[in-house]
Structure formats: C-alpha cells, structure tokens
Copies of this chain bind each other. A is one copy, B any other.
Amino acid sequence: MTVLLEIPANLVEYIGYFGSFLTSITFLPQVYKSWQSKSVGDLSIWMIFIVLTSTIVWLVYAFAIHSGPVISANLVVLVLTLVLLYFKLTFPKK
C-alpha cells in the first residue's frame, strides 16, 4: 500500500488518542445547550438512535480487539447520548 502520510508511530498513536478524546466529548456541548434551553425539538431522534446503536457496535468491536481508547470513548458517548435521549423524551415539545 502506498504510504500516504509519513508520521512516527508514536505520534500516530497520540493522534488516535486525541481523536478518541474529541469523539468522546462530541455531545457534551449539545447536552449542556439542551439542558440550558430545555428545548430539543430540532434534534433528530433518529440521529440519537443511530449513535446509540453505533456505540454498542463499537463497544463489542473494542472489547474484541481490546482497545482501551475505543472502549472509553464509546462509553462516554453512550452516557451522553442516553442523556440526550432522556431530554428528547421528557422535555415538552414547543
């Protein structure tokens, strides 16, 4: 395979961890905004369902390959998305 990017292996690993960290906190500002506004009408519940499903799939994958960063990232996403789902189901529609 063609080498597309020549980055030291160590650095690649750190980049992966940074990506995992960012992915973990993706829904943090959304949870905060939704909590403040108590308004989630514009959020797609299908997006939430897809995130929940993908998180569970990724967790199975991550346990199978023993990937700590993928496990922890997806656990955080799972919790934040469950909070969003709770908001979506309980906040009054406007």
Contact = CB atoms under 8 A, between A and B. Distances in A.
Contact of A66 (B4, B19, B53): B4
A22 B53 contact: yes
A30 to B, nearest CB: 4
5 shortest A-B CB distances, which residue pairs? A29-B46, A22-B54, A42-B42, A33-B44, A19-B57
Interface of A: 1, 3-5, 7, 12, 15-16, 18-19, 22-23, 25-30, 32-34, 37, 39-44, 46-47, 50-51, 53-54, 57-58, 60-61, 63-66
Given A12-B61, A19-B57, A57-B22, A34 B42 contact: yes
B53 A15 contact: no
B7 A30 contact: no
